[in-house]
Structure 1
Amino acid sequence: MGRPPDLSALSTCRTTSVFRPRVFVQRFLRDAIAQAAGIQKVMSPHRVRHSSITAALEATGGNVRAVQQLSRHAKPETVMRYNDNRNNLQREVTEMLSGLLEKRGEDQREASR
């Protein structure tokens, strides 16, 4: 019969060369889906959760309490860490300040008439 095939290249565990088909298929699918979506980072449950929380903050306009309930974090400070990572946070604040300055300029022009 000969030697059994070396499956160590397919090993899904760092500490053993045991081949686990379920884990292999899960990782293969995870990587294939990420690649199809154009995601270059290695995906993990934590990364998906992080992305979901950040997206929820974007969708709710930064409603920390609502996202805290959704994510089941005990403390709002934990959700605030995700809020600080939002990509558009700086842009939102810049637009808000710009709007305030424009309004102030309009108010001053009207007052000087």
Structure 2
Amino acid sequence: TMLDAELPLTPGEWPEWGNPIEVPAAFALIRSYSPYDNVRAQAYPPMFISGGLNDPRVTYWEPAKWAAKLRHVKTDDHLLLLKTNMGAGHGGKSGRFESLREAAEEHAFVLWQLGIEG
């Protein structure tokens, strides 16, 4: 995201985070904590990764790319789910109950992975 100057919020973030396109030290620092760039061949816990098709802050392919890399290198057989919400932006779907439905899905995943039935 920080490497795409065409995204609406990216240039406005550079004063705080640094411009990784023009400043190698900013690129190195951002890369040091980038989730994608820190994936290693190791065991990971069960994961529920989500994104929104209409998210201007975290483009939909970023969680998909991260999930694909995790699936490729992880050494365990824990569940890794990717949900791309086709009608949502950065804050999830709009609507009176949509945020509650999304929270319920996340909580259900955690309870399922903990073996808690209800």
Query: By the TM > 0.5 criterion, same fold?
Result: no
Query: Which TM-score applies when normalising by structure 2?
Result: 0.24
Higher relative contact order by CA 8 Å / sep ≥ 6: 1 or 2? 2
Query: Which TM-score applies when normalising by structure 1?
Result: 0.25
Larger Rg: 1
Q: Could you say which structure has the higher helix fraction?
A: 1
